[in-house]
Amino acid sequence: MRTGPSPTARALRALEILQERPGVTADQLASLLGVTERAARRYVGILREAGITVESVRGPYGGYRLGRGTRLPPVVFTQEQALGLVMAVLDGQPAAIDADDLIGSALSKVIRALPDSIGRQAAALRAYASATPDRHSARPDPTTTSALVAAVADRRRVLVTYRGRSGEEWDAEVDPWAVVVRYGRWYLLCHSYRADAIRTYRIDRVRAVRQMPHGFTPPDDLDPVAALEENLGAGWQYRTRVLFDASWEKVAPWIRPPMGRLEPDGERCVLVGSTRNPAMYAQEWLAAVPFDFSVEEGPELHAAVATVAARFSAALSPSPPENRPGD
């Protein structure tokens, strides 16, 4: 009885490897296929007989690669890949459960293109799953996002029209360094010439994008995620300064970058930053840090912490006894 993948399956797997790893050598291909080097060369021959151009280059930097302009067969997903793709789409875009949604209609096309057995399972997963929208997420316009990604890739300055939180709009000429997705929100990390500083713009609030003729060079040591996190904790309306009665080493794991900069202060540490929402800063961020602290700066944050403290104190106060009939 024959066991293991068929020659056809191995040839298709060889094609997939050539797509993923241009320049793969015969011995590497053999190892990935689980066959001898001679057999690996035979599978390359099968692909060539099928009309797929596979080029081979000799030498220490040689190997197999698909010829330029090779027409490849349709993408084939395994069951796990297909279901994982549907789950990822629904997780990131809950509205995709609806076939009339923009992403939902694209997902429908993917499901229809799957082999029958896999497609049925993917369709069932979509039909019987329920997804709750993330109240913090904000979906940007795909055309706007694409234009910004293209500018990042081409290193081309852009002029963006931006709508602020209060509804006012303004134009800003920026060098788009990176597009970063953070907790369901899409951000443009850039250098703004209007502010002459690093800025983070929510892409769902970008109303228009126009490429400029000027190019730019991003910082050599740029870490987009770290730069975004650091920038989100600076430059907001209300300043904050919080002293923790614990060492930097103990407090640091509990501090998110948008909360500000944590600095040692002898046996204690101090958190310096800013926020546009003192109430959220107090009840969602500071309340989660399991160390005693005092607010040293920021009357708005001080008031917000006092409100949270009063609410929790009231929850522990004994309730007055109810008057029962006949008392």
> Per-residue confidence of the chain (327 residues) as pLDDT tens digits?
444 567 778 888 888 888 888 889 988 999 999 899 999 999 999 988 888 888 888 766 678 988 876 666 666 777 888 888 888 888 778 888 888 888 888 888 888 888 888 888 888 888 888 777 766 667 788 889 999 999 999 999 999 999 987 789 999 999 999 999 877 789 999 999 998 989 999 999 999 999 999 999 999 999 998 888 777 777 778 999 999 999 999 999 998 878 888 999 999 999 998 998 999 999 999 999 999 999 999 999 999 999 999 999 999 877 665 665 555
CA angle 279, 229, 87 (to 5 degrees): 90
Torsion of CA 31, 32, 34, 39, to 10 degrees: -80
Output the pLDDT for position 250.
95
Q: What is the pLDDT of residue 92?
A: 76
Looking at residue 282, its pLDDT comes to: 95
Q: How far apart are CA 243 and CA 291, in angstroms?
A: 10
Cβ(185)–Cβ(202) below 8 Å: yes
Distance separating alpha carbons of residues 285 and 312, to the nearest angstrom: 16
Q: Which long-range contacts (CB under 8 A, 24 or more apart) does 50-53 make?
A: 50/11, 52/15
Pairing assessment for the beta strands 54-57 and 63-66 based on DSSP bridges: antiparallel
CA 46 to chain centre: 40
Query: Which pLDDT does position 1 carry in this prediction?
Result: 41
What is the pLDDT at residue 166?
76
- In sequence order, the β-bridge partners of residue 181 are 186
Q: What phi, psi does 165 have (nearest 5°)?
A: -60, -35
- Cα 133 from Cα 294, distance rounded (Å): 36
In this prediction, residue 319 carries a pLDDT of 62
Judge whether 250 and 262 are in contact, CB under 8 Å. no
Check residue 132 and give its pLDDT: 76
